[in-house]
Chains A and B, each alone.
Chain A
């Protein structure tokens, strides 16, 4: 085992055999559980569970925009819905194969996002949020109701491909697409484009000084997000086998925002888990044996309330969401230590530490340091190295101008380097 000083967040050099096998076993058990579960469930349950991978893909597409690029998107239903209707239209009206319909849906989603991206080049912050909200609302109320394109209230049929007709098969298809999207996202973040996009999120001006073509990469991020959203929409359409505009109302879009935020912006695993939770929670509630029949009607009303509650809890107490809580697990699976070493915690107590080695983006969120005056977290509590402090009044020195020193305890949703000031 490497015995050199371990600065927080860097990978441990060499793992021992038990270490590797433990990690592989854990990952394998999770994967097997997910893939074998559908074989033991009834078809209608498989049908219900398919909502989870579909929502997860939607969450990942929102993560590209909100997590990687740092732009707010309150109207994502525009892209997803467009993808859904296009896919249905292509499959039903044009009679083309599902395997053509899905990429075409993705392209339409990308184009729709491209248009929004053009607007985003001019607008920032709150105003952009407002425009995305309006964009989504308009898509749902106007575009998705044009009967010639969407068959109005009757809904656009979206038949499943012959190879994936049954609910079980379609669930596996959705899982495969989810894995595909995860791989795409993983490669994106590692690529030059991904680094550019993340740099833009941190500080646009600095990124531009570094030679990043901000316009190009911003637009690219929007288009990738839109493409993934369109594909998710296609998957959604053929899962439900009918698409109506009512499937994309404002409540649904806000639920998607909530689930992505609760999942943790920037964290793939967190977003997938958050989305799955939001997708499956209504069915779990309904399936609980203690629920009397008459409560079935109330479940859809409790669900948004609980969702909103989770959102508020996340924003106020744990802005990193589930992803932040998962940090130790993900670091461990990637080969790092699970808990901090005692000597590292003590070292952090003594001075505010700058990370001395380049840290992989997925593992550590800047700004990371704790202030000298704060108590170290209790050793028994399994905290991530970069836990934000409890909500506190900003210390006096933090109020200088519009930048803020890196030691701020409160991390923002979109992880900008500067405090909000006006719009």
Chain B
């Protein structure tokens, strides 16, 4: 019996998972704090509480995400790209291309049969095309980020927004609200701006089927549908678990591999 953990400390959320003999037995997902160590501690405490296990029972833990280098309790660290590749393969075995949209970046990763990343592209500097972009826009619209995805199906005429800069896009949204444009049209415009940026990035790496999305934005049906339209291909939905956990799952799988090979 092996019990391993993966902890993914991202810029917006921290995720942790426990795997027991390759089965997911506990997960936690919290809003990241200012200090990565604190985020990880809270997420891990929640993780063990849910599984009714103590930390001592964990045999190996791999850390990933932006805060990974700061985690004292992990046995090893792995890059996010490697973890998302591994995690996505476990969640959807047929996957070859992963679009991962995190809080502060967007990555398109190609993987091989073993889930090892072979190529990747990332956005460069701007927050457009990242989870942070959607979060800021939802705040301006006064809706919860989880409601943003539904706006696309309700809209009859999505607005066109600036998509090279989050601050400018925010100014555009405020202008549209003040002009009386319906919320759903603005929301749909936001999803479209986001999808266009991701599609451009994804197409640059020549994605291969099956394609899936990981990260928090994978839960935004509006962006996902628009992305399918823009890329002209189907994006497979991850159903086995929360797609936002892919990085943490990948980290746990690395931990499991390490234990089994020892």
A binds B: no
